[in-house]
Structure 1
Amino acid sequence: MPTVYRGTIVHTKSLNEFESFNEGFLAVENGKIIGIGNDFNNWLSSSKIDRDSFTEVRLSKFQFLSPGFCDGHIHAPQYAQIGLGMSVPLLDWLNAYTFPTEAKYVDKEFALQIYRNVVKATLRCGTTLASYFATNDLGSTLILAEEAARQGQRALIGKVCSNCNSPDFYVETTDESVDGTQAFVTAIRKLNNPLVLPTITPRFALSCSKDLLQKLGDIAKQNDLHVQSHISENLDEIEAVKQIFNTSYASAYDDAGLLTKKTVMAHGVHLQDDEIALLNQRGTAIIHCPASNTNLNSGICDVQRLIKAGLTVGLGTDVSGGNSVSVLTAIKRAIDVSKHLAFFKKQDILGTGKAQNPDNDYQQLSYKQAYYLATLGGAKALALDHITGNFSVGKDFDALLVDVSVLEKPHRAFTVDELLEKFIFTGDDRNIKAVFVAGNLVKGSI
């Protein structure tokens, strides 16, 4: 039986194309979107659906339907250490906090506890699609995949690969990494759950030998798999990659066949122009992680530069470099970073009479553009925009029912734009009344 939602509907069709329906409708059947627009009666007549054969849900004037959020980069095991080490540079932070934490996941009971909580937390915050890094441990990584499937979240899951430049207590041999990856891909496919997919996951170039990167590239190509890793996050990291691989960061991956149309690279803070051109040529996307870039003192990513160069960009919380699992928070942080860049490019900050990095053509990221990065942009980056990301007919119904009146009843009615803006700048998970993945209610009620 179809369900028809009547009220305010918002989504994006591209970075600069925001579409909304004030008194609109969205029709869903068997988890798929079968209709959207303003003229419900005309659609109903043309669709030949009997008026008595569908369930109608009417939204209040302070509610709207939105596509679900996409978290393009999150480390599930690091949920256990969220909020710690936020003043430490990346490489020191990995050694002091992250590697010791991730090594604990050989304990399956510990893994189940944390992974159950992180999937629950991300769903609560509206993440209907997440691209998860797990750990080197095969068994516990499968627990994460099983937990995402059980709770009904759409997820890309990766067993982390690292055979060098890692602590003795948390490192694999090349064979262990390759065999574990192949076993993980096989196990995920045996789950036979269309929501959960494997993704090849070299931690970053520093933690993998050339041989391992090449073998992971071969596995990805042979099985047409997604790929995820990190690139150009920290200046010390970039210099180390140059010393080891004798090439640019992007080329280190490309030489192994890891830059594809199904690859996402987190950060991209310090990419050189030739690296951006290479990523664009390969169709590889960047996941912008504004919170962790700030928290770990990595730098400020000029997202507009990447977009103007033709790259697809999504948003990531990058927990636990990022200090929140909420993509809504990542939207706000992305807007902040863009505004800070504008200060450097246009304002006389130090009283010198000129901007520090003059660029009068620079345009700040608008809240609607940031919203795109968190929804359709993220789905496109993860090569899943044919399934999710907006409300196009034929896509899965991955959606949020948002209510801006939950915390404080507004004193007046809002326009559609104001509803979204209010949610972005003042909202949190309490404003997300319901979460749907492939039409299934996975949080809240309607």
Structure 2
Amino acid sequence: MERIFFGQIIHSTSFDSLELLTDGFVAVKNGKITAIGAKSEYESLPEKESYEKVELTESQFLLPGFIDCHIHAPQVPNIGLGLDKDLLGWLSTYTFPLEAEYKDVEFAQQVYSTVVRDTIASGTTCACYFATIYNDSNKVLADEIIRQGQRAFVGKVSSNRCCPDYYIETGTDASVQDNIDFIEYLLSKNIDRVKPIITPRFAISCDMELMKKLAELAVRYNLNVQSHISESLGEVESVKEFYPHCKNYSNVYDEAKLMTNRCVLAHGVHLEDEELEIFATRGTSVAHCPTSNTNLGSGMCDVKRLHAAKVKVGLGTDVSGGNRIAIYDVMRAALDVSHHLNVMKKQDVKGTGKVVPTSKYNELYVPLNYKQVIYLATLGGAEALSIADKVGNFMPGKEFDALLIDTSVYPINRYKLPAALMQNKSPKEMLLEQLQKFVYVGNDQNIVNVFVAGQKVK
């Protein structure tokens, strides 16, 4: 496919920088971006006449596809349930019983076809999925992702202790062999955009022997790693009881050799400063899941603190702890949490006049803004999953994972500004206002088309 898009284009180049092209173009050939620039530069494009031309309207713009760094595909039927419980209570009452049902491949097919469809419809071009311990249904999820054209990492969950008898692996060797079977099944598909990922559920449900063997598999097959860390205070205390020889939660994963520059750990709400230094040194990233952290009362992850410590951060829906399947909802939740933290950090402590700096990384706090959450949802997510060389923005050579956004349709167009208030604004100012409206108000109705590696999947 050779296609060139003309119109408004927005993408992040760093945490604090957006590139805005109000009258630009992006050229795509064989699924990859060959050129981007101002429309005036189009004439110098080699073989420009070979491209199919697509003209965006003045209410439309292109945005890189959203990246969900942490989502539990089998938990979607539970969305909205059990959110009056804490993390460990929610797991035992709702999560484990549901995941045990995925022995039923027909049930898995019904759920997973909908999950992939709905995530794509909401703009998720790449998802990092937790599956279950059952390979028959894990293969159903992988096949469905391939069929629908999404980019993804798919993880066979590993859990050999501290789970219910009806939902636990029979032993370390069996877990390792099941991982090998799933890895080799998915690698045999030879689909570059869909990869297996090593997935110990978390340190409580995996012993050190299993985690070390999973780390060896990651090296043997050159795979990414995903798990959870420091989601709730109760979880952190439990990890200390299971691993008393380790100084902190991060040291557990580090001892197992799981913390690498291709490892993403969800939550990171209660990380100590010393742990952030381990993250930065290893290149390990955090998947920020604000909806889940709020729903389960886990705490508020300070993204600005992580960023100051040079820790990579992306966003995760964390369904079904999170009650929204769309990353645009998570962007809003990330903004909410950041503003709540801003208030907390600047209020007096019992009238003493002292503020609440709890870390050397957050003394000068400024909350996130809407431009920065676009980064977290796109380029930041790509960096967190170690695929920023492939996707995340519209730099030439990357694959064209993109969203065509239209701000002229509901809900963004419900209330229109009077023409008088639009006068004397530059094209860039107006484009930024369109983006801001989408971040705060938009939904899947404003996402007209979704592209993955140049192919239209919505």
User: Same-fold call, TM > 0.5?
Assistant: yes
Residues 377-420 of structure 1 deviation map (CA, whole Å, 9 limit, x = unaligned):
00110000100000000100000000111112634567111111
Distance 2:376 2:48 in 1: 38
Q: Are 2:334 and 1:319 equivalent residues in the alignment? A: no
User: Is 1:185 equivalent to 2:188 in the alignment?
Assistant: no
Q: 1:69 aligned to 66, 69, 82, which one?
A: 66
Q: What SS does the aligned partner of 1:200 have? A: strand
Q: 1:331 to 1:349 in 2, by over 3 A?
A: farther
- 1:369 matched to 2:372: yes
Is the CA contact 2:155–2:198 (under 8 Å) kept in the aligned structure 1? yes
Q: In structure 1, what is the Cα distance between the partners aligned to 2:256 and 2:343?
A: 39
Q: Which runs of 5+ in 2 are unaligned?
A: 423-428
How much identity, in percent, do the aligned residues show?
49
Pick aligned residue for 2:121 from 119, 124, 127 = 124
CA contact (8 A) 1:69 1:127 kept: yes
Q: Which residue of 86, 91, 100 corresponds with 2:88?
A: 91
For residue 403 of structure 1, the aligned residue among 397, 401, 406 is 406
Q: Is the 8 A contact 2:151 2:194 kept in 1?
A: yes
Flag structure 1 segments of 5+ consecutive residues without an equivalent.
Answer: none
Aligned residue number for residue 305 of structure 1:
305
CA distance in 2, matches of 1:258, 1:155: 20
Task: Report 1:281-300 matches (<5 A).
Answer: 281-300=281-300
**Which residue of the partner structure matches residue 439 of structure 1?**
454
The alpha-carbon distance between structure 1 residues 353 and 418, as it changes in their structure 2 partners (threshold 3 A), is farther
2:208 maps to which of 197, 207, 210: 210
Distance in 2 (CA, whole Å) between partners of 1:354 and 1:21 is 46
Q: Tell me, what secondary structure is at the counterpart of 2:163?
A: coil
Structure 2 CA distance for partners of 1:26 and 1:210, relative to 1, 3 Å: same
CA contact (8 A) 1:71 1:315 kept: yes
1:427 aligns with 2:427: no
CA drift at 1:160: 0.2
- Which whole-Å CA distance do the structure 2 matches of 1:213 and 1:57 have between them? 49
Alpha-carbon shift at residue 349 of structure 1 (Å): 8.8
Whether the aligned pair in 1 keeps the contact of 2:347 and 2:356 (CA below 8 Å) is no
**Is 1:136 matched up with 2:133?**
yes
2:42 touches 2:48 (CA, 8 Å); kept in 1? no
- Distance in 1 of aligned mates of 2:136 and 2:391: 29
The 2-side partners of 1:298 and 1:48 are apart by 54
1:107 matches 2:104: yes
Instruction: Tell me how far 1:50 sits from its aligned partner.
Output: 4.3
SS in 2 for 1:74: strand
Q: CA deviation at 1:319?
A: 0.3
Give the number of equivalent residue pairs.
439
Tell me the amino acid that sits aligned with residue 101 of structure 1.
Answer: L
Helix, strand or coil at the partner of 2:62: strand
d(CA) in 1 for partners of 2:217 and 2:4?
Answer: 43
Rounded to whole Å, the distance in 1 between the matches of 2:303 and 2:343 is 15
1:80-106 CA distances to partner (integer Å, 9 max, x unpaired)?
A: 111101110000000000000000000
Q: Distance in 1 between the 2:336 and 2:394 partners?
A: 27
Deviation, structure 1 residue 16: 0.8
Q: Does 1:388 align with 2:391?
A: yes
- Give TM-score, length-normalised by structure 2: 0.94
User: How big is the shift at 1:347?
Assistant: 3.4
SS at match of 2:324: coil
Measure, in 2, the Cα distance between the counterparts of 1:314 and 1:112: 28
Superposition TM-score, scaled by structure 1 size: 0.96
Q: Quickly say closer, same or farther: Cα 1:58–1:109, change in 2 above 3 A.
A: same
What is the aligned partner in structure 1 of residue 147 from structure 2? 150
